[in-house]
């Protein structure tokens, strides 16, 4: 999931730089040189004179490119989130019949829809009609060792407005995803800062996600050649800030959901943390007669949070071990590559 977020954020950064470039470009419009004396000055004057000839049209072209590029990046981001989530779930859940009900309900219909679109450039590449049919066969007849048509869940017939995003994620078992995004701490902080709200203020979906709906609308205007008011660059920067915050929060919702799925599928309860050191990077707990190895993965959770970490060091009675046997309920100290809170309950993920 982090790869998807990083890619989208890089595209947002590129758009920030493009806006800065456009602003620098238009500063040349006001450049005045009486008599250019160097080749560089002559080129600047030539560019300035060219810009003067179609200044308003250039502003429109610049705006169009930002809107189309931002929407295109956002659309790919949502599609990649859907596909990657389904792929992760496919790897976590061994039996097709144990998948979320919404996936079982929608997979067949969406796969048939994908069959009709498979030759379109958007769905081209290595995926073939035979692959889609073969995958359906594994789900219907084999059950275990199945393969979902993950690309089927990324299909949509309308631009990604708030309602379309909601519907798309409901198909993969995540209902009211916007409400979940509103509860992510990073998005709360962003919203409070941007809107000047107090920490106790309640965020409202339609207000908080208006920019998302606006972008889809502006994208339609540009795509269909409808003349509309050009949004100023500082407002476009605000749009970029929103999508950066929104995408981070959305990834956090998906990451958290997958952790709960992974915990349900392979987690073994060890018990409560007895102590923490080094800001939660060292945790003490009882092994519950389980074999614990360096490199094992732990999940820690309380009522609000869930985290995943790998054991990098194990100590028992002040001695370092690579592995702890299952002959007793030992209390050990484990150094991990993330921070756990003292009120977490610890689970060991089976390999």
- Taking phi over 0 as left and psi of -120 to 50 as alpha, with beta for the rest, 295 belongs to left
The DSSP bridge pattern shows strands 345-349 and 323-324 to be unpaired
Q: Residue ranges per domain, the chain?
A: 2-263, 267-349
For residue 195, pLDDT over 80 is answered with no
DSSP state of 95: B
Tokens (6 digits) for 279: 């800001």
The confidence score (pLDDT) of residue 58 equals 86
Region 102-122: what's the mean pLDDT? 91
Q: Tell me the C-alpha distance between 126 and 137, whole Å.
A: 19
The confidence score (pLDDT) of residue 98 equals 93
> Residue 122 burial by CB count (10 A; 0-12/13-18/19+): exposed, middle or buried?
exposed
Percent of the chain predicted with pLDDT > 90: 74
> Residue 339 burial by CB count (10 A; 0-12/13-18/19+): exposed, middle or buried?
middle
Q: Give the homologous superfamily in CATH for domain 267-349.
A: Translation factors (2.40.30.10)
DSSP assignment of 71-88 equals HHHHHHHHHHHHHHHHHH
pLDDT band of residue 52 (cuts 50, 70, 90) is confident
């Amino acid at each position: 999931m982090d790869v998807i977020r990083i890619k989208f954020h890089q595209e947002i950064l590129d758009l920030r730089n493009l806006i800065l470039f456009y602003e620098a470009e238009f500063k040349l419009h006001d450049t005045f040189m009486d008599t250019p004396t160097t080749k560089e000055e002559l080129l600047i004057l030539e560019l300035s004179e060219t810009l003067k000839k179609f200044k308003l049209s250039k502003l429109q072209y610049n705006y169009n490119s930002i809107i189309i590029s931002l929407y295109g990046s956002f659309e790919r981001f949502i599609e990649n989130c859907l596909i990657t989530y389904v792929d992760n779930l496919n790897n976590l859940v061994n039996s097709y019949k144990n998948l979320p009900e919404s996936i079982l309900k929608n997979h067949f219909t969406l796969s048939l829809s994908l069959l009709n679109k498979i030759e379109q450039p958007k769905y081209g590449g290595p995926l073939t009609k035979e692959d889609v049919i073969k995958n359906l066969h594994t789900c219907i007849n084999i059950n275990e060792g199945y393969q979902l048509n993950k690309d089927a869940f990324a299909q949509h017939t309308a631009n990604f407005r708030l309602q379309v995003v909601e519907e798309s994620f409901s198909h993969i078992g995540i209902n009211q995803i916007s409400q979940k995004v509103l509860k992510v701490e990073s998005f709360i902080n962003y919203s409070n800062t941007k809107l000047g709200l107090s920490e106790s203020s309640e965020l409202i979906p339609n207000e908080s996600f208006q920019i998302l709906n606006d972008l889809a609308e502006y994208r339609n205007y540009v795509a269909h050649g409808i003349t509309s008011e050009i949004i100023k660059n500082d407002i476009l920067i605000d749009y970029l800030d929103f999508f950066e915050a929104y995408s981070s929060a959305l990834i956090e919702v998906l990451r958290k959901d997958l952790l709960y799925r992974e915990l349900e599928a392979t987690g073994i309860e060890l018990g409560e943390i007895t102590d923490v050191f080094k800001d939660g990077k060292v945790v003490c707990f009882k092994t519950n007669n389980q074999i614990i190895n360096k490199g094992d993965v732990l999940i820690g959770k309380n009522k609000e949070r869930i985290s995943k970490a790998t054991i990098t060091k194990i100590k028992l009675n002040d001695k370092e071990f690579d592995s702890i046997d299952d002959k007793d309920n030992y209390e050990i100290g484990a150094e991990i590559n993330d921070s756990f809170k003292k009120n977490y309950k610890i689970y060991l993920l089976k390999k």
